[in-house]
């Protein structure tokens, strides 16, 4: 199993897309007079914390496997192997899925309807500018092994 030395050519750290979307969403009510989410504080805090923690668990499950397999976590570095075990049996992108779930939780805790409205834009950017590049690289690097994995496992959930 030979890897190429190029990498996925992702031009920015993907977590920054989530942070930027969340920040813009939280500023939404101040900048554009958008309504707040409107949930009771106990509901907001319970639901939001549950989502945020679940998202962190999902993300760290993916990160942990990359660390144990000794392959690059940073998307512009070359991968030394294709990780298909653990959480990668259910989703090809657990780190991005986890960040999305964490984003939802933080948006709820922060009472930001605007952040939730912006989430599809954040996910579109991640899909088009990050995942598409990563998957093209993985196909170059791992060929048929990645194509077979891609046919078995969904990109998100």
Q: How far apart are CA 18 and CA 106, in angstroms?
A: 11
Taking a C-beta distance cutoff of 8 angstroms, is the pair 155, 131 a contact?
A: yes
Q: Mind listing the pLDDT tens digit for each residue in 91-146?
A: 999 999 999 999 999 999 999 999 999 999 999 999 999 999 999 999 999 999 99
Token digits of residue 157: 């959930």
Q: Mind listing the pLDDT tens digit for each residue in 2-47?
A: 444 577 888 889 999 999 999 999 998 788 788 889 899 999 999 9
Q: Where are the domains of the chain?
A: 41-152
Query: For the residues 75-92, what does the mean pLDDT come to?
Result: 93
Give 74-142 as a DSSP string: STTSPPSS---SGGGGT-S-HHHHHHHHHHHHHHHHTT-HHHHHHHHHHHHHIIIIIIHHHHHHHHHHH
Residue 21, C-beta contacts closer than 8 angstroms, at least 6 positions apart: 103, 115, 118, 119, 121, 122
pTM as predicted: 0.91
- Residue 1: pLDDT band by 50, 70, 90 thresholds? very low
Task: Identify the pLDDT of residue 31.
Answer: 81
Task: Identify the pLDDT of residue 11.
Answer: 84
């Amino acid at each position: 199993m030979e890897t190429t030395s190029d990498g996925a050519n992702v031009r920015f750290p993907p977590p920054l897309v989530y942070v930027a979307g969340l920040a813009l969403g939280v500023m939404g009510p101040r900048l554009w007079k958008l309504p707040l989410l409107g949930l009771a504080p106990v509901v907001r805090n319970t639901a939001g914390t549950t989502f945020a923690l679940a998202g962190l668990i999902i993300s760290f499950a993916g990160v942990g496997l990359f660390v144990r397999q000794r392959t690059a976590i940073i998307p512009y570095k070359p991968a030394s192997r294709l990780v298909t075990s653990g959480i990668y049996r259910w989703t090809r992108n657990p780190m991005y899925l986890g960040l999305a779930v964490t984003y939802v939780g933080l948006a709820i805790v922060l009472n930001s309807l605007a952040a939730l409205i912006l989430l599809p834009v954040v996910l579109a950017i991640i899909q088009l500018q990050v995942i598409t590049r990563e998957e093209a690289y993985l196909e170059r690097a791992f060929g048929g092994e990645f194509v077979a994995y891609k046919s078995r496992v969904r990109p998100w959930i």
